[in-house]
Amino acid sequence: MEWRIRLRRPSDVERVRQEGRSWAHPLLVLVARPNELGLTRVGVTASRRVGKAVARNRAKRLLREAARHLYPRLAPGWDLLLIARPKILEFREPQVREALDRLVKQAGLVAQEQEL
């Protein structure tokens, strides 16, 4: 994922956590908050509840990869926080991508398809 579209500052992540709206799935939680940047930024996190460092890093890699595939379809102007849940480690990337896709559609964050 390109650095410009990553939610990196702790203050930005905390703002999304505090002010954003959330949608849950057994594998992950999506928290979304509008921004005025005209582009969508994505942050990924995994707490110690997910496991030790190796497990948390794998969970974050799974979420980043799923977000990378989904990013072109996302509506601009949002800050998204993806929070891994422990069950994510039992699944592979296609299932994580499907779970994230379902949450993004639930949240209404998919850009409208342009007619040709």
Q: What architecture is domain 3-106?
A: 2-Layer Sandwich (3.30)
Predicted confidence at residue 115, as pLDDT, reads: 42
Statement: residue 111 has pLDDT above 50 = yes
E strands, 2-114, are 21-24, 28-34, 41-45, 78-84
> Residue 7's pLDDT band (boundaries 50, 70, 90)?
confident
**Better-predicted residue by pLDDT, 98 or 2:** 98
Mean pLDDT along residues 89-116: 86
| Band of pLDDT at residue 116, cut at 50, 70 and 90 | very low
Torsions phi, psi for 11 (to 5 deg): -65, -35
Residue-wise pLDDT tens digits, 37-96: 888 999 999 999 999 999 999 999 999 999 999 999 999 999 999 999 999 999 999 999
Find all residues with CB under 8 Å of 37, minimum gap 6, and list them.
Answer: 77
